[in-house]
A and B are shown apart, each in its own frame.
Chain A
Amino acid sequence: MLYGKNGRKDDIAFEGVRVVDPGQGIDETLTVTVEQGVVTRIEPASGGNGKVLAPAFVDPHVHLRTPGREDEEDLASGTRAAAAGGYCAILAMPNTDPVVDSAAVLGALIEQAQEHAEIPVGFLAAITKGQEGAELTEMAELAERGAAGFSDDGRPIVAPGLLRRALQYGATAGRPLAVHCEEPTLSRGGHVHEGTVSAELGFGGYPSVAESVMVGRDLALAAYEERPLHLLHLSARESVDELRRAREAGVAATGEVTPHHLCLTDEAVRSLDPNVKMNPPLRAHGDRAALVEALRDGTIGAVATDHAPHARHEKEVPFEEAPFGVTGLETAFSALYTQLVEPGVLPLATLLERMSAGPARIYGLEAPRIEVGAPANLVLLDLEAVWHVDEGSFRSKSANSWLLDSKLRGRVLQTVAGGKLVYAA
């Protein structure tokens, strides 16, 4: 289900580091030894250098733009960016050109990943052919060929009957179904959140209710079919409320949230910077607060970057003409550490869990952990480091980051993925 270059297995020692593994309740200064890519010794240490060693991150929502837009990102650049962001695994969305909707396209991608991916990548396949919302893909065959899950990300499944079939038939594929919740007649013509900012700037509004009515509908179908369902990039308070109610009622529903929705509100749109234009849009203060609370209490179990690279010339246009989407792989931890952990809004251990074991669990992947005998999937963090985000800092082929020119605290120093040192600052 995850595919990458078969690389060497490294020997590395992390001496006197603060080991934080929320899954095992560890937060103490230790020395961790990796031999041949496997954690072989975890020993007490005194003093320590203050650096944090944690299970490496898993990003459940990345756009690698391959096939079709390799000028924006390819498997090599996207996985290098992920390694620099502390990730040991990422999942790529199928809205490429052509769409990943057949075993042939998926097979070709898997072969490319085995040749070029610096860290393991999983590929989601489309739920409907061409993501057109009309006919189901051959989900069983796609799962057999290695699809990590199914999604029409970027587009909603408009017809409720079709989503119901996907839930029913998807059971035979045995892989998670992930939905982008957007009611198109409500979001039509919308560029930013509908509220005081859109009223003042004159933008067509994309109201919260365009998301939450679909969240409500999709959860009702998942409950009726008694099937799990994953909700992509939630943005609205009402959506979070729906998800919380469904989970309390026993529905196997999960959700994810992006760093930008956790850090920004629609006030940022006043800059008219195309790098704060994304779908779903940045919402109001109350929405952001609800997302942070849901991440804290576990209603939302995963941070997903929704890393969406765009060519420079496509973003250097008036805001209204610009495509949706921002990059995020290389800045996710630092942004969230700076905006949520350092001010005391979210405990460090919670953030680390939601960036690693949380997303792994949703897709049935082995959760990264720091344990003797476990494969080394580790990230070494310097919480004191301050870095200035500029275009030159990215390994991604694209630089459409909402954090350009900001100063962040906390930085990834090293990443070990599948026993191999894939990044060292």
Chain B
Amino acid sequence: MADVRPLLRSELLPPRTPARRHLISITDLEREDVERLLALSRTFARSLERDVKKLPTLRGRTVVNLFFESSTRTSSSFELAAKRLSADVMSIKSSGSAVDKGESLKDTLLTIGAYDPDVVVIRHAHIGAPHLAARHTPAHVVNAGDGKHQHPTQALLDLYTIDEELGGIEGLHVAIVGDVLHSRVARSNIQALVLMGARVTLVGPPPLIPRGVEAMGCTVSHDIRDLRAADVVYVLRMQRERMLEGANYVPSLREYTARWGVTPERLRPGQKVMHPGPMNRGVEIDPAVADAAESLVERQVRSGLVVRMAVLYDLLTQGPVEVKVAEIEEVA
């Protein structure tokens, strides 16, 4: 039985109104920000063990979820996270909204902004949508996935899961396997893991590993046998919906699965396996691996709730720094 510390009153005080901060990319965070978010997540995990799971912390705050791309776990966990913290939540999906009538993202944001939301959570198919949200709403912006760019709360919940299951992140070796090219999860995870002192190896077919990715601080392998050296194997979904038609990234899914699919035979006993979901069973991951005791997939989903509670709470209290808008480079 874990040591259940009573929640301190100070942890439940209504948040002050601070300067506006966002969580758009893992690069918005320093190591101590991540450590604080993980500690907060642990606190909220304990609070969820109680009979009454609702906390009064964000009472009177408004969280708007704007999902322009399909999502099950991210949208539901943001919604539940906000509700657990007593915030008012409004979830808008692109289908059935004015977006169907051709409304631009800017106009949708201005409309939402008129309700004075405290937080706008946005998922969009295109890179840069959360930046636009930050420019055109008065709210704190949380990126719930923008195209192939970033999915920072996924990386935070993955860190939290690893930390809980393996008792730390620093010094671990994580292999990220599969379609890195189309994966915002991979990009956020590489940055988050490197930030926390883990070693990252990307494994996959050359066309699905972006050229120049080593500059992010990871190594690259095209040999599936290199999985065995890792403590954690992080399997990515083959994102067929993002692939350009006729681009020939791999000759066939059959060949991909034969060469790079994660099967029980390719794993070392005891290796932990993660997947951000949704899984293509039988493509990038063998069902036997997905359902094995070493699989942390369900843990990841559970972590999503407490980590998103931590992010919402932290944004409205202290936490992640102002988004770093890169200055146009001074040259010569």
Question: What is the interface of chain A, defined by CB distance below 8 A to chain B?
Answer: 188-189, 191, 194-205, 207, 263-265, 267-268, 270-274, 276, 288, 313, 316-322, 339-340, 343, 345, 402, 406
Q: Which of B105, B128, B325, B328 contacts A274 (CB under 8 A)?
A: B128
- Knowing that A271-B326, A272-B127 are A-B contacts, what are 20 other residue pairs whose CB atoms are under 8 Å apart, sorted by A's residue number? A189-B244, A196-B212, A198-B212, A200-B187, A200-B216, A202-B127, A203-B149, A205-B211, A264-B329, A265-B331, A271-B327, A272-B131, A313-B106, A316-B106, A317-B105, A317-B132, A318-B127, A318-B129, A320-B128, A322-B128
The 9 lowest CB-CB distance pairs between A and B, nearest first, are A202-B148, A319-B128, A318-B128, A270-B326, A196-B215, A320-B126, A199-B210, A318-B126, A196-B212
Contact indicator per residue, chain B 110-144, by CB within 8 Å of chain A (1) or not (0)? 00000000000000101111011000000000000
On whether the beta carbons of B126 and A264 are closer than 8 Å, the reply is no
Task: List, in ascending order, chain A residues with CB within 8 A of B328's CB.
Answer: 264, 268, 271, 273, 276, 402, 406
Give the distance in Å from the alpha carbon of A255 to the alpha carbon of B187 in the complex. Answer: 38
Q: How distant is A329 from chain B, measured CB to nearest CB, in Å?
A: 19
On whether the beta carbons of A263 and B331 are closer than 8 Å, the reply is yes
Output the nearest chain A residue to B190 by Cβ-Cβ distance.
A200
On whether the beta carbons of B187 and A202 are closer than 8 Å, the reply is yes
Task: List, in ascending order, chain B residues with CB within 8 A of A276's CB.
Answer: 328
Given A313-B104, A319-B127, verify A199-B211 contact (CB < 8 Å): yes
Task: List, in ascending order, chain A residues with CB within 8 A of B187's CB.
Answer: 200-202
Output the nearest chain A residue to B328 by Cβ-Cβ distance.
A268
* B332: Cβ under 8 A from any A Cβ: yes
On whether the beta carbons of B329 and A267 are closer than 8 Å, the reply is yes
Task: List, in ascending order, chain A residues with CB within 8 A of B148's CB.
Answer: 202-204
Output the nearest chain A residue to B329 by Cβ-Cβ distance.
A267
Q: Which of A191, A267, A343 contacts B332 (CB under 8 A)?
A: A343
Q: How distant is B213 from chain A, measured CB to nearest CB, in Å?
A: 4
Give the distance in Å from the alpha carbon of A370 to the alpha carbon of B148 in the complex. Answer: 54
On whether the beta carbons of A199 and B215 are closer than 8 Å, the reply is yes
Task: List, in ascending order, chain A residues with CB within 8 A of B146's CB.
Answer: 318
Output the nearest chain A residue to B243 by Cβ-Cβ distance.
A189
* B8: Cβ under 8 A from any A Cβ: no
* B1: Cβ under 8 A from any A Cβ: no
On whether the beta carbons of A317 and B212 are closer than 8 Å, the reply is no
Task: List, in ascending order, chain A residues with CB within 8 A of B15's CB.
Answer: none
Task: List, in ascending order, chain B residues with CB within 8 A of A264's CB.
Answer: 328-329, 331
* B84: Cβ under 8 A from any A Cβ: no
Output the nearest chain A residue to B130 by Cβ-Cβ distance.
A318
Task: List, in ascending order, chain B residues with CB within 8 A of A313's CB.
Answer: 104, 106
- In the assembled complex, 24 residue pairs joining A and B whose CB atoms fall closer than 8 Å, in A order, are A194-B211, A194-B212, A195-B211, A195-B212, A199-B216, A202-B147, A202-B187, A203-B148, A263-B331, A268-B328, A268-B329, A271-B326, A271-B328, A276-B328, A313-B106, A316-B104, A317-B104, A318-B126, A318-B147, A319-B131, A339-B331, A343-B332, A345-B332, A402-B328
Give the distance in Å from the alpha carbon of A320 to the alpha carbon of B149 in the complex. Answer: 10
Task: List, in ascending order, chain A residues with CB within 8 A of B329's CB.
Answer: 264-265, 267-268
Contact indicator per residue, chain B 88-99, by CB within 8 Å of chain A (1) or not (0)? 000000000000
